[in-house]
Structures are given as structure tokens and as C-alpha cells.
């Protein structure tokens, strides 16, 4: 965080595999970064991160699996796969108050804006 604050970058990006709390997330978001949300939110014990994700704007996230490195709840000991992105999405839907369609649409907008697909 101190280095990101110190250097004024013309482009920002994704904070990979975010697993912090609300205050840390807010600092990254205020600097223009998106939070990479992955398997961490599939674990009930990740209360700090789950609580942060409940409070933050939906425009702050992109999804990731960090395959093959980061296992998801229920898949420990197995090699992770990008196909499990749906598990991360479903966990996000269970955390948030918006519906699945609204979340999916916003995630697409977030990725489009970040990577300038359009």
C-alpha cells in the first residue's frame, strides 16, 4: 500500500487474491484498483474478507480462481481449475444482497472497464 500511494500510476489494476478487511479494501479501491475475489470467500472462516465484500460497492470486484494454486472450500487437496469460477460466483451471490443477474452484469462491466474490452 505505501508504494502504491507513493507512485502516481496512470493505470491501476487488480489486487490479486484479496483476503483483507474493509479498511484495507477501501484504500485499494480509493486508489482505483479492483479487488480480485477468489476462493477465500468460499470459506466460512474468512469472516473479515466476507464482511468487507458485503459492505463494498459491487463495482469494486473481479472474480478469479487463482488456479491451480488456491483451493476452494470443499476442494482442498485437489488441483484448482478455472472451471470453478462458478463456485466463486455462487459464493459472492450468497454474500451480497443483489441478485445473480445484477451481480453478473456488474462483474462484466468491471472487467470491461479494467481491461478495456470495448
DSSP 8-state symbol, 24 = H
Give the model confidence (pLDDT) of 57-89 as tens digits.
999 999 999 999 889 999 999 999 999 999 999
Q: What is the span of the domain harbouring residue 87?
A: 2-115
* % of residues, the chain, pLDDT over 90: 81
Would the pLDDT of 3 be above 90? no
CB of 31 within 8 A of CB of 5?
yes
Strand partners, 34: 14
Q: Can you give the pLDDT at residue 90?
A: 98
- Look at the chain and report how many structural domains it folds into: 1
Q: Can you give the pLDDT at residue 5?
A: 77
In Å, how far from its chain's centre is CA 83? 16
Mean of pLDDT values over 93-113 = 97
Q: Can you give the pLDDT at residue 27?
A: 95
Q: Can you give the pLDDT at residue 72?
A: 95
Residue whose entry in the numeric block shows the C-alpha cell 469494486? 60
* % of residues, the chain, pLDDT over 70: 98
- Record the cell numbers describing residue 65, joined without a space: 480462481
Domain CATH number, residue 90: 3.20.20.140
Q: Which residues are within 8 A (CB) of 37 and not within 5 positions of it... i.e. 6 or more apart?
A: 18, 53, 61, 62, 63, 64, 88, 92
| CA–CA gap between residue 26 and residue 98 (Å, rounded) | 20
Q: Can you give the pLDDT at residue 19?
A: 96
Amino acid at each position: 500500500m505505501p508504494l502504491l500511494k507513493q507512485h502516481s500510476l496512470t493505470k491501476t489494476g487488480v489486487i490479486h487474491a484479496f483476503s483483507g478487511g474493509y479498511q484495507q479494501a477501501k484504500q485499494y479501491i480509493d486508489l482505483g484498483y479492483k479487488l480480485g475475489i477468489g476462493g477465500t470467500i468460499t470459506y466460512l472462516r474468512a469472516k473479515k474478507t466476507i464482511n468487507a465484500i458485503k459492505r463494498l460497492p459491487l463495482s469494486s470486484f473481479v472474480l478469479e480462481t487463482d488456479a491451480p494454486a488456491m483451493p476452494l472450500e470443499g476442494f482442498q487437496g485437489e488441483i484448482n481449475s478455472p472451471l470453478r469460477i462458478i463456485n466463486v460466483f455462487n459464493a459472492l451471490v450468497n454474500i451480497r444482497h443483489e441478485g445473480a443477474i445484477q451481480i453478473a452484469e456488474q462483474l462484466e462491466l468491471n472487467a470491461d472497464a479494467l481491461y478495456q474490452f470495448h
